[in-house]
């Protein structure tokens, strides 16, 4: 199997320190260590698979993000001081953000674009003949829509890679979102499309951020029937999760895509501080086996996962199953 891991150490410079949780300040969980623990684990077994990102024209951001939003993010980023954290105003149209937990820092535009280029690199590697690519990058992306950041996300890495595959290779693509939190941004970007199938397993939207992803959200217009959400209750274990994943993959195979893009969140782990499921290390081996069984060129984009130690153990089991 031709397998690559796309990684860029620039992400370590992105260090948000806090966020607003309702009316309370708390530590920001998107810390560099959550990726570095994964990198160190994979380096020991797959060191030859690591590659750096390619460079792409900055205009590629506009494949999935509106010009006004991109310009806003760039301007805000450039006008901040070192160490300053700006929290967007979510009321009215002053800022392009839907929550209080996604601070803007100096150079956030560059950090987010670097993450997006890692995902685009993964897509290009698939087009060039790779069987599977893992994009180990942050900040994550699946909550970012065409016009809004939020949920720690600024540019939608998985969506950009998907659009790149569609237009560069005239492809049909399935996005399988396996983060604990619903990928509302990815869903919104492709909600009226029939050339991209969006499927997601996530926490019950009645109780969990971003409070979207109900089963009745099935797409609109040309995209009706090409959006599938499977919300699971708090405390869902690996047995239930894998059962639902296998059924969702049956739906995916009926779509007959050319490529699969997986938004992989490790915040489904029982030890994650922001999740609500009870998956164990061994369950990720099972997830890897299910995805391997699809037999399709697969781009795996890292999303959430906020316990560095649990992330490292989970990803090790995942690739044991996926690359077996």
Cis status of the peptide bond prior to 108, with omega within 30 of 0: no
For the chain, give the mean pLDDT: 96
Beta bridge partners of 3: 132
From CA 32, how far away is CA 266, in angstroms rounded?
A: 15
Would you say residue 75 has pLDDT above 70?
yes
Token readout for 123 is 């897509």
Contact 236, 164 (CB under 8 A): no
Rounded to an integer, the average pLDDT of 264-273 is 98
Reported as a pLDDT band with limits 50, 70 and 90, residue 92 is low
Residues in the chain: 324
Q: Which residue has the tokens 């290779």?
A: 169
Q: Look at residue 91 in the predicted model and tell me its pLDDT.
A: 75
Q: What is the pLDDT of residues 18-66, one digit of tens each?
A: 988 777 899 999 999 999 999 999 999 999 999 999 999 999 999 999 9
Please give the model's pTM, rounded to 2 decimal places.
Answer: 0.97
Q: Look at residue 191 in the predicted model and tell me its pLDDT.
A: 98
pLDDT, greater one: 92 or 268: 268
Q: What is the pLDDT of residues 108-166, one digit of tens each?
A: 999 999 999 999 999 999 999 999 999 999 999 999 999 999 999 999 999 999 999 99
From CA 154, how far away is CA 41, in angstroms rounded?
A: 27
| Residues with catalytic function | 143
Q: Which domains does the chain have, with CATH numbers?
A: 3-322 (3.40.800.20)
**171 C-beta neighbours (distance < 10 Å), count:** 19
Which of 238, 184, 241, 192 has its CA nearest to residue 208?
184
Which of 18-27, 224-233, 239-248, 261-270 shows the lowest per-residue confidence on average (mean pLDDT)? 18-27
- Three-state DSSP class for residue 102: coil
Reported as a pLDDT band with limits 50, 70 and 90, residue 89 is confident
From CA 320, how far away is CA 42, in angstroms rounded?
A: 11
Beta bridge partners of 97: 149
Q: Look at residue 20 in the predicted model and tell me its pLDDT.
A: 80
Which of 74-88, 193-207, 236-250, 260-274 shows the lowest per-residue confidence on average (mean pLDDT)? 74-88
Q: Which ranges in 170-298 belong to alpha helices (H)?
A: 184-190, 238-255, 281-292
């Amino acid at each position: 199997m031709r397998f690559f891991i796309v990684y860029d150490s620039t992400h370590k410079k992105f260090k948000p320190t806090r966020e607003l949780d309702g009316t309370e300040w708390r530590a920001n969980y998107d810390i560099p260590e959550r990726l570095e623990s994964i990198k160190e684990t994979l380096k020991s077994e797959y060191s030859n698979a690591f590659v750096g990102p390619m460079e792409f024209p900055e205009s590629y951001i506009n494949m999935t993000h509106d010009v006004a939003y991109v310009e806003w993010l760039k301007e805000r980023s450039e006008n901040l001081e070192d160490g300053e954290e700006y929290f967007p105003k979510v009321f009215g149209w002053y800022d392009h953000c839907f929550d209080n937990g996604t601070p803007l820092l100096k150079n956030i535009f560059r950090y987010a674009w670097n993450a997006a280029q890692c995902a685009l690199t993964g897509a290009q590697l698939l087009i060039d003949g790779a069987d599977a690519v893992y994009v180990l990058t942050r900040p994550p992306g699946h909550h970012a829509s065409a016009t809004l950041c939020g949920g720690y996300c600024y540019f939608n890495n998985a969506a950009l890679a998907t659009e790149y595959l569609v237009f560069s290779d005239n492809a049909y693509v399935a996005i399988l979102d396996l983060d604990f939190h619903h990928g509302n941004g990815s869903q919104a970007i492709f909600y009226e499309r029939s050339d991209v199938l969006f499927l997601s397993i996530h926490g019950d939207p009645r109780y969990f951020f971003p409070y979207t992803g109900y089963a009745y959200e099935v797409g609109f217009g040309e995209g009706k029937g090409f959006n599938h959400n499977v919300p699971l209750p708090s405390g869902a274990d690996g047995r239930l999760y894998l059962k639902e994943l296998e059924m969702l993959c049956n739906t995916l195979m009926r779509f007959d895509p050319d490529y699969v893009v997986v938004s992989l969140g490790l915040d489904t782990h029982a030890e994650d501080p922001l999740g609500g499921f009870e998956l164990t290390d061994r369950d990720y081996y099972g997830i890897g086996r299910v995805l391997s069984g699809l037999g399709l060129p697969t781009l795996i984009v890292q999303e959430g996962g906020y316990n560095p130690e649990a992330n490292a153990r989970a990803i090790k089991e995942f690739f044991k199953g996926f690359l077996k």
